[in-house]
Chain A
Amino acid sequence: MPHRAFFAFLMPSLLAMVLFILLPLVSVGYQSLFSPPRDIEVMSEICSTNFLTGVRSCEQTVAIEKVEGPNIFRGLDFFCGRSVLACDELATGWAENTQGFGHFWSKTVLNLPLYKAIGFTLFYTIITTPFILVLGLIVALVVDNLWRPLRGVTIFASLLPFIVTPLVGSLVLFWMTDNTGGLLYAITNGLAFWADDFSLRASPQATWAVIAVYGVWHVTPFAFVVFYAGLQTVSQDQIEAAMIDGAPRIDRLRYVILPHLMPLITFVLLIHIMDAFRVLEPIFGFQAAANAQSVSYLIYEHLVLQADKRYGSAAATSVLTILMVFILLLPVLIRTWRDFRVAAR
């Protein structure tokens, strides 16, 4: 395709992405390093004489004075701020710590917002991933073996948790965990024989677990659909050959089907890890902000929930998040680039 035609066709899309992704990205980078001059607090004394006693007294008041002027370079101030990398807090925490690294880790590091959020993201990813992959695979295998007319209904039901808005999905589950007798509360209480009153909302651990369950419920359909499509392309010759060789079902699964699905498993894994950084709506849906905050939630808090918007901290957190996602994505980028090179030859 000639260069001119290529750019003519791509122009609208390219323009949209340059103006509304690339430039905002530059702006985010800029905001993480520069900010307007801070308003200064001016102390002033107000004195008055009491009408009856004639005693004159003064009191100090603080007035906030707006400072106009060009943006000031803040260096790593925002990156080192308490709600971002918290350099000072880490340094003092380490200096004052006398009880070994484990103590420093749990008492200092895990009490700082960004590290807590990364910890939550890691927990969410590590706990949900195996469930999503295994359940997705089981559902795919099960649907693949269903009587054909039943498959459509099953796929319809399966798509619901995935397609429905995360806020709606999490609310629908959250309302069922109501501890005045919600259905999920009743079921888990029936199963949790060791506890008298097993509330799903009482502790941070319960909140984390409920969000993880939601994550599995929400993403398993995606894994299922991808694996199901993969199952349709398994070579029937290989299956038959394995059957003639007398391989039992479990071996056919292990040596024929799973290797065939391997690229898809990697794909689902990758998408899921990247999406873990996006977890935001469930924090609202499950009213979990006190116990669980994701990286996205931290940025959202700086920008939307705070009356006094903290652009610098939000931008610095955003830059770090993009870097983390980029590093995770790097192997895929390299592989995709190689595929292109091969295809172009």
Chain B
Amino acid sequence: MTRKHPLALLILIYGFAALWVVVAAFPFIWTTWGSLKVETDFFGHWTKNLSGVDTLREFGAYFTSLGYDSAFSEKKQFGQAVGNTMIITIFTVVISLTFGTLGGYALARSTARYAFVLLIIALIFRAMPHITLVSGYMEPLFSWGIWGETWVAVIVLVAINQPFTIWMMRSFFMNVPRELDESAMIDGCNRLQGFWHVIMPVMWPGVITTGLFSFLLAYNDFTVTSALLSQQNTTMIPRIAGFLGSAQNDGDQMAAVAAVVTATAPLFVLIMIFQRQLVSGLTAGAVKG
């Protein structure tokens, strides 16, 4: 489709697009650049972050890995948090998707009233702020002596994300015609075989999209992980929050800056690879209602 616009409008459009891209992306570039400087440059006057005068004076180079060294040091142990995050997100995504795919399929194929009731209840669960459930977890977990364990956080994250996951998977399954199930069953598959050999092969795009959002929910989680994990099992985001408290005392804010950049890097790559799926996922709930 071609649209003709007058020149003034074109300038306005491209000017605004450029401005928006800068507003959206520039803070991240600025921080990534600044994470390779010393503290007096990054937290000093903004021109010093550009030129890096203090970094040059102290290290004889424009960049230094000082912040990263400090974050990953024995004392701050950010590497441990990176490992914890990997374990927790991988398990959460795999289990969430397995449960959510099965559940979403059932909900998409059932026309029974209780299926709708369950969907409505899931919608309410999805709307509740996660923090409102935390006191419900803490008391029992403390009394059973399993507070702080990694697997507990994984189970809680899986459960808390199920409402979202089954709604999303359901909307993808709704796009797969029922006739496909029926023809598989006529050909002699039972329900599980039909689901696995006939439906799943066309569902992978939906699984990938839902998986991305499960990943983001687990990776970006602060509420559950900061309240339910012990210090040594904690993930990147609560660990960064912990750095903030100690940063002023240590005079070592660059560790927090380096940690922030480290936590952002995987998301950068994720958006770059899966941009299309992210956009389709964001609109899946909206456009189809």
Partners in one complex: yes
A contact residues vs B (CB 8 Å cutoff):
1, 3, 5-10, 12-14, 16-17, 19-21, 23-28, 31, 138-139, 142-143, 145-146, 150, 152-161, 163-168, 171-173, 175-176, 178, 180-183, 186, 217, 221-222, 225-226, 228-230, 233, 236, 249, 263-264, 267-268, 274, 277-278, 280-281, 284, 287, 295-296, 299-300, 302-304, 309, 311, 314-315, 318-319, 321-322, 325-326, 329, 332-333, 336-337, 339-340, 344
CA of A181 to CA of B42 in the docked complex: distance in angstroms? 10
8 contacts between A and B (CB under 8 A): A6-B109, A167-B240, A168-B263, A172-B31, A230-B283, A299-B132, A318-B136, A344-B111
**In the complex with contacts A28-B135, A183-B30, A280-B223, A340-B3 CB distance below 8 A:** no
CA of A157 to CA of B233 in the docked complex: distance in angstroms? 33
Contact B30 A25 (CB under 8 A): no
Contact A12 B103 (CB under 8 A): yes
**In the complex with contacts A20-B156, A142-B13, A176-B30, A160-B25 CB distance below 8 A:** yes
* Number of CB contacts from chain A to chain B under 8 A: 291
A-contacting residues, B220-278, CB 8 Å: 220, 222-223, 226-227, 237, 240-241, 244, 256-257, 260, 263-264, 267-268, 270-272, 275, 278
CB distance from A265 to the nearest CB of B (A): 10
CB distance from A223 to the nearest CB of B (A): 10
The one of B220, B270, B279 in contact with A229, judged by C-beta atoms closer than 8 angstroms, is B279
Interface residue stretch chosen among B57-65, B70-78, B113-121, B201-209? B113-121
CB distance from A233 to the nearest CB of B (A): 7
Contact A309 B138 (CB under 8 A): yes
Contact A281 B46 (CB under 8 A): no
Q: 7 closest pairs, A vs B, by CB?
A: A24-B136, A20-B159, A181-B45, A13-B103, A9-B106, A318-B132, A229-B283
The one of B5, B129, B166, B260 in contact with A325, judged by C-beta atoms closer than 8 angstroms, is B129
- B43: chain A residues within 8 A (beta carbon): 175, 178, 180, 182
Whether B177 sits at the interface, judged by CB under 8 Å, is no
CA of A342 to CA of B118 in the docked complex: distance in angstroms? 17
Contact A156 B129 (CB under 8 A): no
CB distance from B229 to the nearest CB of A (A): 11
CA of A280 to CA of B112 in the docked complex: distance in angstroms? 39
**In the complex with contacts A146-B17, A172-B28, A278-B130, A21-B263 CB distance below 8 A:** no
- A339: chain B residues within 8 A (beta carbon): 289
Whether B67 sits at the interface, judged by CB under 8 Å, is no
Contact A13 B166 (CB under 8 A): yes
Whether B282 sits at the interface, judged by CB under 8 Å, is yes
- Please classify how large the interface on chain B is, using the bins under 10, 10 to 19, 20 to 34, 35 or more: 35 or more
- A344: chain B residues within 8 A (beta carbon): 111, 113, 116
- A226: chain B residues within 8 A (beta carbon): 282-283, 286-287
CB distance from A28 to the nearest CB of B (A): 4
CB distance from B178 to the nearest CB of A (A): 10
Whether B123 sits at the interface, judged by CB under 8 Å, is yes
- B46: chain A residues within 8 A (beta carbon): 181-183, 186
Whether B140 sits at the interface, judged by CB under 8 Å, is yes
- A8: chain B residues within 8 A (beta carbon): 106
- A228: chain B residues within 8 A (beta carbon): 279
Whether B146 sits at the interface, judged by CB under 8 Å, is no
Whether B186 sits at the interface, judged by CB under 8 Å, is no
Whether B175 sits at the interface, judged by CB under 8 Å, is no
**In the complex with contacts A143-B17, A166-B220, A325-B127, A171-B105 CB distance below 8 A:** no
CB distance from B212 to the nearest CB of A (A): 10
Whether B98 sits at the interface, judged by CB under 8 Å, is yes
CA of A214 to CA of B148 in the docked complex: distance in angstroms? 32
CB distance from B205 to the nearest CB of A (A): 16
**In the complex with contacts A157-B25, A168-B240, A299-B131, A163-B112 CB distance below 8 A:** no
Whether B7 sits at the interface, judged by CB under 8 Å, is no
Contact B129 A321 (CB under 8 A): yes
Contact B275 A155 (CB under 8 A): yes
Contact A340 B119 (CB under 8 A): yes
Q: Which of A26, A150, A165, A176 has the most CB of B within 10 A?
A: A165
- A171: chain B residues within 8 A (beta carbon): 240, 244, 256, 260
Per-residue 0/1 for B16-37: is the Cβ within 8 Å of any A Cβ (1 yes, 0 no)? 1100110111011011001000
- B263: chain A residues within 8 A (beta carbon): 165, 168
Whether B83 sits at the interface, judged by CB under 8 Å, is no
CA of A157 to CA of B99 in the docked complex: distance in angstroms? 33
Contact B289 A263 (CB under 8 A): yes
CA of A145 to CA of B15 in the docked complex: distance in angstroms? 12
Contact A17 B112 (CB under 8 A): no
Contact B124 A333 (CB under 8 A): yes
Whether B14 sits at the interface, judged by CB under 8 Å, is yes
The one of A23, A158, A163, A284 in contact with B244, judged by C-beta atoms closer than 8 angstroms, is A284
CA of A28 to CA of B111 in the docked complex: distance in angstroms? 33
CB distance from B272 to the nearest CB of A (A): 7
CB distance from B167 to the nearest CB of A (A): 11
**In the complex with contacts A172-B260, A180-B45, A303-B138, A24-B286 CB distance below 8 A:** no
Closest to B40 in A: A180
Closest to A302 in B: B135
Closest to A145 in B: B13
The one of B21, B191, B264, B275 in contact with A164, judged by C-beta atoms closer than 8 angstroms, is B264
CA of A295 to CA of B130 in the docked complex: distance in angstroms? 12
The one of A10, A20, A304 in contact with B160, judged by C-beta atoms closer than 8 angstroms, is A20
